[in-house]
Amino acid sequence: MAPMRPVPSPALPRRLSTRERAARAHVPPAAIAYITGAVLCFTSLDAITKFTTQHYSVPLLIFARYGVQFVAMLAWLGPRMGRRLLRTERPRIQLVRAGILLASSFLFVSALRFLPLAEATALNYSTPIIVVIMSRLLLGEAMTRARIAFVFAGAVGMLMIVQPGTEVFHGAALLGIGAAVFYAGYQITTRMLAGEDPLVLLFYPALVGTAVLTALAPTFAWPASMPWTHVVLIVCAGLFGTFGHFLLILAFRLAPASALTPFTYTQLVFAMLFGWVLYGDFPNAVRVAGMAVIAGSGLVMTLHERRRARALVADPVTIQ
């Protein structure tokens, strides 16, 4: 499951002092360590999930993933926050957001069953492309020339990964792209909930996912037996996901999202290494180039949007 990239709360434009601009440009080493640790946790989660999909059904694995996160969050936050874990001003959007993430999880884990780890991860990183398009359609955000170029470059990179006519271009690739589409919807709804407590944002998907999957559990293909090693792996996968999101929260408390997003692309490197070491899968040169195009276009777009936002804050009248 790809990392969640929270969107910072909007603020009224005002001219920043030199000290404030320098503070925003600075990324503390601790924030970099937290964000890198988060994507390492997510890659570990995906690597374990790829193995377990060869032995167990996708719904069962997702049920375990959400269930472990739900129990871990209750044990971790319940005594301290109590009912505040459920406190939100927009409960309907919270529920829709959680449902969208659940759909994305089903599609991504289904794709992992068939696709190499690096390719599945890279397809999920096409999410920012889809976010730009959906932001235009749903939120009315402007499609600047830079954003159009970013979307085009990302689409080219995605085609380089799936390579129509090769063994990767089959139903599983479409599942991976579908997961990215739903994850983009998850990010859009996250943006709509800007200003909500990040711990509440983290808890609702775990709560809704666990509730829905518990109701559907009797329809799952339950194994007659399960080795204790597989039980440990499945529990560890859920803990990796929970701890990864916790590290994300710590990172975004220390630095803005625009400054940290470039570091999330280290997940592509981790995915290639894990896929190579654990499964003997290493992308060919064209697919590696496609990953570089997606990562490079994403990084350039992040830096461009960050510079544009600073210019807008510094001079909201002349910057359009």
pLDDT digits over 118-147, tens only? 888 888 877 777 777 777 777 666 667 777
More confident residue, 17 or 92: 92
- For residue range 62-100, list pLDDT tens digits in order: 999 999 999 988 998 888 888 898 999 899 999 999 999
Q: Rounded to whole angstroms, how far apart are CA atoms 73 and 281?
A: 34
209 in any annotated domain: yes
Instruction: Report how many domains make up the chain.
Output: 1
162 in any annotated domain: yes
Q: To the nearest whole percent, how much of the chain has pLDDT over 90? A: 29
- Count the alpha carbons within 13 Å of 236 in the hemisphere toward its beta carbon: 16
9 in any annotated domain: no
Residue 153 near residue 171 (C-beta atoms within 8 A): no
88 in any annotated domain: yes
225 in any annotated domain: yes
Q: Rounded to whole angstroms, how far apart are CA atoms 99 and 156?
A: 30
Residue 60 near residue 68 (C-beta atoms within 8 A): no
When pLDDT is cut at 50, 70 and 90, the band that residue 205 belongs to is very high
When pLDDT is cut at 50, 70 and 90, the band that residue 26 belongs to is low
For the chain, the three-class secondary structure string (H helix, E strand, C coil) is: CCCCCCCCCCCCCCCCCHHHHHHHHCCCHHHHHHHHHHHHHHHHHHHHHHHHCCCCCHHHHHHHHHHHHHHHHHHHHHHHHHHHHHCCCCHHHHHHHHHHHHHHHHHHHHHHHHCCHHHHHHHHCCHHHHHHHHHHHHHCCCCCHHHHHHHHHHHHHHHHHHCCCCCCCCHHHHHHHHHHHHHHHHHHHHHHCCCCCHHHHHHHHHHHHHHHHHHHHHHCCCCCCCCHHHHHHHHHHHHHHHHHHHHHHHHHHHCCHHHHHHHHCHHHHHHHHHHHHHHCCCCCHHHHHHHHHHHHHHHHHHHHHHHHHHHHHHCCCCCC
Assess whether pLDDT exceeds 50 at residue 38.
yes
212 in any annotated domain: yes
Phi and psi for 171 in degrees, rounded to 5? -55, -35
Cα 112 to Cα 46, 124, 174, 318: the distances in Å are 8, 11, 12, 47
When pLDDT is cut at 50, 70 and 90, the band that residue 22 belongs to is very low
Predicted model pTM: 0.78
Instruction: For residue 86, give its domain range.
Output: 27-314
181 in any annotated domain: yes
**Structure tokens that stand for 111 in this block:** 């794709």
8 in any annotated domain: no
Residue among 313, 34, 50, 304 nearest 176 (CA): 50
Q: How confident is the model at residue 283, as a pLDDT?
A: 77
Phi and psi for 54 in degrees, rounded to 5? -80, -10
Residue 162 near residue 169 (C-beta atoms within 8 A): yes
Assess whether pLDDT exceeds 90 at residue 195.
no
Phi and psi for 121 in degrees, rounded to 5? -65, -45
Query: Which positions ≥6 away from 317 have C-beta within 8 Å?
Result: none
Mean pLDDT of 235-261: 82
Query: Which positions ≥6 away from 54 have C-beta within 8 Å?
Result: 113
